[in-house]
A and B are shown apart, each in its own frame.
Chain A
Amino acid sequence: MVAHSSDAAHKDVTTIVARGTRSLRSYVDEVWRYRDLLFFLVLRDIRVRYSQTVLGFGWSILQPLLQMIVFSIFFGALAGISSGDVPYPAFSLAAVVPWTYFLNAVSMSSLSLISNAQLVSKVYFPRILIPLAPIGAGLVDLAIALGLLVVVVLAFGVVPPFPGILLLPVLIVLLVLAAVGISVWLAALGAQYRDVRFVTPFFLQTLLFVTPVIYVVSEVPEGLRPFYSVNPLVGVVSGFRAAVLGQGPVPWDAMATSLVVSLTLAILGLAYFRRVERAFADIA
């Protein structure tokens, strides 16, 4: 085997088609070889998401903004839910921005193998790229929404703390990891059992209530917190509040739990995905 260099290297590669799962090494190599495809799948999802809409990327601002207004009216003003020492709209938006990213990423990713069934049955490439693409594409919306968050927070007279704000990149990594961990499972299951299409909205709605989006973490009884933090979004959302609003201490333990849970979900999910992906073309 000649050293891997230039365009001619592939001539020495022998592709073997046989039953069974290949080595992890060759799988990872292959995903790496197709990394440019991931870029273009992400680009496709970005371009397609707002095509033929009037507002286009305006939706990535409107979605969290409207959500914030609804939450502020019904939970903040009418139900009188406490937002601690921060005005409810800013309090709410700091959670709604990561939540909206998560919601859209998981919703689209969980259906991605079904909506791309045509691809799966006609051309080979590492299937894992399909559910990863919407998760990557959502980052553009997230970036725009973060800009909105900063503007709204400042407008309500809250100054993001320094150096707490520097945690934001870490929190975004945790957020993406949580989306990957859950989406890989839902996508793989959804390709085989279309029930997932009905389960996902309910699952996400429940997740909203067990995540501190409309209330503060301190409302949750102290003794239940360790179990509560198993939800990987708890660390992310309370981290966002600490980083952007300076509300509460940085939740290091919840963030660590989030990392461990998301990584475990992602690794097991990828293993499951690899085991079942061989059959996707036959059942799509």
Chain B
Amino acid sequence: MSGVLPASTSVRVHGLSKRYRIGAQLDRDESLVASVGRQLVAPVRNYRRLRDLRRFGDDGAEPNVIWALRDVSFELAPGDVLGVVGRNGAGKSTLLKVLARITEPTTGRVDLRGRVASLLEVGTGFHPDLTGRENVFLNGTMLGMSRGEVASRLEEILEFAEIRKFADTPVKRYSSGMYVRLAFSVAAHLDPDVLIADEVLAVGDAEFQRKSLGEMRSVAEGGRTVIFVSHNHGLVSSLCTRAIWLEQGRLMAEGAVEDVMAAYAASLQTGGAGDVRHRTDRLGNGRVQVSEAFVREPGAAATSAVVAGRPLELVVRYDGSDSPVGRLAVAVTIETLLRERIATVSNVLSGDTLESVPGNGELVCRLDGLPLNEGDYMCTVKLEVDGLTADHIADTTRFHVNPSGFYPTNAYPGARSGPLLLEHSWRLEA
């Protein structure tokens, strides 16, 4: 392949794969003699194991080998802001690490035009004993600037981070907010042609996040290219122009951000609902566990389609003990399928105490008029017994909301107007 990128392309990723060897299961011994014998040959085995971490056979079908990326290709033009989405372990971070040259690909190739800056973690390379000013130089040169370039932007960087007064204070005396502001500010003033960033916008207070976002946008509007991984799907939708969706290392979709996010959201809809007894991805001590969670209209059976504005019951069935368990607290968080939290309801908020509850039973929460817009939602359920988390399980229940019943007009604002429907009225005051 030619090494020259056409002017319309700033990033070209071609056939990128990355293979990792995960630690093989360690041997177990049947006897003391076997164990001693194994200890004696341990150095040889350890040496092979350490050496083999970087070696692979020719067939890709070995055990203990995972493909964090598998044949990923895409291209970006100057001005594109690419969002990378996918579940945990889909390969997003590996992709960024390969693009940032931190780790090399197993196969494939990436061409990046111009200066590349990567921001995989805010404040990488900051040293607590150095002053803010010294850290700006250390971090700036680490990200690829020359000393002169850092010096010419120093004032701007300190100004943007709002820490000018503390420029000569060791950063270990900074508040965490000051620390991340300074770190982001250095990266934001790199003036890169390609910026690779991981979750870094989730730093600082709301005001600084707004500023950082603005800075990211202006990087893109200046004809640069931004590649951005985030679990905040709302942010991806609002910031990015394009997106790719990774699943187990493979590229599932690529294109305009709306299309990719829609496809990704649709994929999240498949999955369990209702009966969750088989689920093991839980937190908590297990004193009681959620066995089933669903929604229904009062007096009706469990359903997956509900109507806005009508009464709704959230039902949580739990079990775990034959005897009473003590004081129970239950919380249900309603989220979009993109994991944006909408609201949390709990008996603690409503003031309904649940003392000496039986070891198994059914908890029902009644909502008088469901204020949700059209869309798909899911629930996360948390149970506490005597103040300790007994069970915490995400994505227990999914339901679709038909919004047409909420307003007296039967009109509804459209799915893109936001997840909430608010009761309201208008008048003219002259």
Contacts and interface: CB of A to CB of B under 8 A. Distances in A.
Contacts of B97: 281
B37 to A, nearest CB: 21
State the main secondary structure of chain B at its contact with A.
loop
Given A41-B138, A44-B127, A123-B143, A19 B105 contact: yes
Interface string A44-78: 10011001100000000000000000000000000
A13 B114 contact: yes
Interface residues of A, number: 40
B401 to A, nearest CB: 42
Interface in A1-55: 7, 10-20, 33-34, 36-37, 39-41, 43-44, 47-48, 51-52
B104 A278 contact: yes
A16 B110 contact: yes
Contacts of B112: 14-17
Contacts of A40: 134, 137-138, 141-142, 147
A82 interface: no
Given A16-B3, A121-B102, A123-B102, A282 B114 contact: no
A41 to B, nearest CB: 7
Contacts of A123: 100, 102, 118, 120, 124-125, 142-143
Contacts of A281: 97, 102-103
Contacts of A39: 141, 147
Contacts of A44: 127, 130, 134, 138
A279 interface: yes
Interface string B131-150: 00010011001111111010
A193 interface: yes
Contacts of B145: 36
A12 B114 CA distance: 6
Given A14-B3, A47-B127, A125-B142, 7 more contacts: A10-B193, A18-B105, A18-B108, A40-B141, A48-B130, A119-B125, A281-B97
Interface of B: 3-5, 20, 47, 50, 53-54, 97-116, 118, 120-121, 124-125, 127, 129-130, 134, 137-138, 141-147, 149, 193
Nearest first, the 8 closest Cβ-Cβ pairs linking A and B are: A37-B141, A17-B110, A36-B147, A124-B101, A18-B109, A122-B124, A51-B129, A40-B138
